[in-house]
A and B are shown apart, each in its own frame.
Chain A
Amino acid sequence: MSELSKDDVKKIARLARLKMEDDELERRAESINGILQWMEQLNEVDTDNVEPLRNVADIELALREDVMNDGGYPDKVLSNAPEETQGFYVVPKVVE
């Protein structure tokens, strides 16, 4: 696997909405590359014919009945909103 460049890290940071200064990018690239190298090592294990392990507990996904039994508390939902009006969250304008 090829090494991550500073630009790769910049892109990843942007996708995760993390602000990173230039000098930090170099450092992060190094540490992420360290992790990737370790992944490379894991890749050496032959996993052909091995089903991916989705969870370690031998349990089935629990489903719920289709019953309406939640919601109806807009005040609670909005209690952490930075700004609200008429029951809406209010955020800086974002238009596609």
Chain B
Amino acid sequence: MAQLIKGETGEWEMVIGMEVHAQVIANSKLFSGASTAFGAEPNSQVSIVDAAMPGMLPVPNAFVVEQAVKTGLGLNSKINHTSVFERKNYFYPDLPQGYQISQFEHPIVGEGVIEIDLPDGSVKEIGITRLHLEQDAGKSVHDQHPTKSYVDLNRSGCALMEIVSEPDIRGPEEAVAYLSKLRMILRYLETCDGNMDEGSMRADVNISVRKPGGPLGIRAEIKNVNSLKAVQQAIDFEVRRQIEILEDGGEVVQETRLWDPAKMETRSMRSKEEAHDYRYFPDPDLLPLHVTQEQIDAIKATLPELPDEKKHRFMQAHGLSAYDASVLIAEKARADYFEAAANNNDPKLAANWVINELLGGLNKDGLDLEDSPIKAEQLGGLVALISDNTISGKIAKDVFAEMMKSGKDAAVIVEEKGLKQVTDTGAIEAIIDEVIAENPDNVAAYRGGKDKLFGFFVGQVMKKSQGKANPAAVNEILKEKLG
């Protein structure tokens, strides 16, 4: 569903590719043994390798290499048996080496493809161009002093995976869907925590516009697009900007632009123009990186079930709708919770309770699933009580509310409060007889043709039974008695 934009001279098509930087989950950095934890005191997680002291040698982290291979496999991509670390040369205060060790001509992961889920329920394939390993830079703080910048090198040398997509994305919705799916895959693989607030996942968006089916336009690279919302907003703005330029007879300049979320605009980063001459060359401190087929196969054997596989399984094995399945797989913890709650239960009913009641309730209380007062097995217990008619769906909501408060098991609450559904027809008959005796006028009216009063009688019976009467039995017996 390529989204076209109407301009003054007709329709325009967007052509978008994304470069995502994902920080690799590891204890230590790409080339040093310093910690990668977020939020430490400035420069407390810096080794002399990260500070680029003369004579220091980088030694690659074996686990980070495995993580990159694992991610490549999760992106259905080709793993390259030989890759080469190169130096990308530029000067900036938070880059003490004067170059970033990256991969250029020979990345560790080559071409692949992932599926994205669009809001209209359709699926589209987005090509992956490559994934390569590189060092992160440090962090500059500009707002602490009028004429000085402060530099913290804690992030310097942390391992990043740069994941580059093909220019297959055709609109902001597809871009958001791509980034969401990529984040989901990385989190399932546990190779990146996907935390965009802390900067462990950052996106650059390459955008150009063209007449539908026409030759590719000149693109601008938008940096600092660091949330799903920002992706949408930056694309909306940049596409408009380019169309206006082109329709006024101008030309789009190939350049790097910065997204400013406060002003809701992109602006040129002139300083980057010359910096594009990075003069890459193989890092003489590092030999080519070799990954054997045996290593790749061993990593492949550890891959978890990925989001799309899980979604299809939920639909086929549990009979869930595509929508319910996609809500449940959005987070691995959520999918695991559902499976535990659905164990030996009606899966559709369990899915309803997880999606509508549990997620809604947690959201209302501002809680994460991990902090849920109701454990998956406990919710399963509640679902089981509904399925075997011990309690009605209506009573179940009260039990659920009590479980959210106290964390007690559903069966305990039902026992303590005497909420067991009354299925004993004798008892229900007795209540119905009482109700009929108390409302002679309504009985007469109903028998005289006012069918709508049936609901009134059901309500009265349920009230008298404190909601515990089995609704199906009430309906049946009422109909019989009111005849």
Contact = CB atoms under 8 A, between A and B. Distances in A.
B62 A65 contact: yes
B60 A66 contact: no
A93 B147 contact: yes
Interface string A40-65: 00000000000000110001111111
A61 B400 CA distance: 58
Q: Is the interface of B mostly helix, strand, loop or mixed?
A: loop
B33 interface: yes
Interface of B: 26-28, 32-36, 41-51, 59-65, 84, 89, 91-93, 140-142, 145-153, 258, 269, 271-272, 274, 277, 279, 282, 286-290
A85 interface: yes
Interface string A57-87: 0011111111111111010111000010111
A68 to B, nearest CB: 5
19 contacts: A15-B89, A54-B282, A54-B287, A61-B286, A61-B289, A63-B60, A70-B32, A77-B48, A86-B42, A87-B43, A88-B141, A88-B151, A89-B43, A90-B145, A91-B148, A94-B140, A94-B149, A95-B142, A95-B149
Given A72-B44, A91-B148, A96-B269, 7 more contacts: A15-B89, A68-B28, A68-B35, A69-B28, A70-B34, A72-B45, A91-B149
B268 to A, nearest CB: 11
Contacts of A87: 41-44, 152
B150 A64 contact: no
Interface residues of A, number: 37
B145 A74 contact: no
A79 B41 CA distance: 16
Nearest to B270: A96
Contact of A96 (B32, B60, B272): B272
A92 B142 CA distance: 10
A19 interface: no
Contact of B91 (A17, A55, A65, A88): A17
Contacts of A77: 43, 46, 48, 51, 153
A74 B26 contact: no
B270 to A, nearest CB: 9
B26 A66 contact: yes
A66 B150 contact: no
B43 A93 contact: no
A76 B48 CA distance: 9
Given A55-B287, A96-B272, A88 B65 contact: no
Contacts of A95: 142, 149
Contacts of B42: 74, 86-88
A88 B152 contact: yes
Given A54-B288, A60-B287, A71-B45, A89 B61 contact: no
A55 B277 CA distance: 26
B177 to A, nearest CB: 29
Given A62-B59, A64-B33, A71-B35, A89 B150 contact: yes
A39 to B, nearest CB: 14
B61 A66 contact: yes
B482 to A, nearest CB: 74
Interface centre among A17, A85, A93 (most CB of B within 10 A): A93
Given A71-B45, A77-B46, A61 B28 contact: no
A95 B258 CA distance: 12
Contacts of B150: 85-86, 88-91
A93 B27 contact: no
Interface string A1-24: 000000000010011010000000
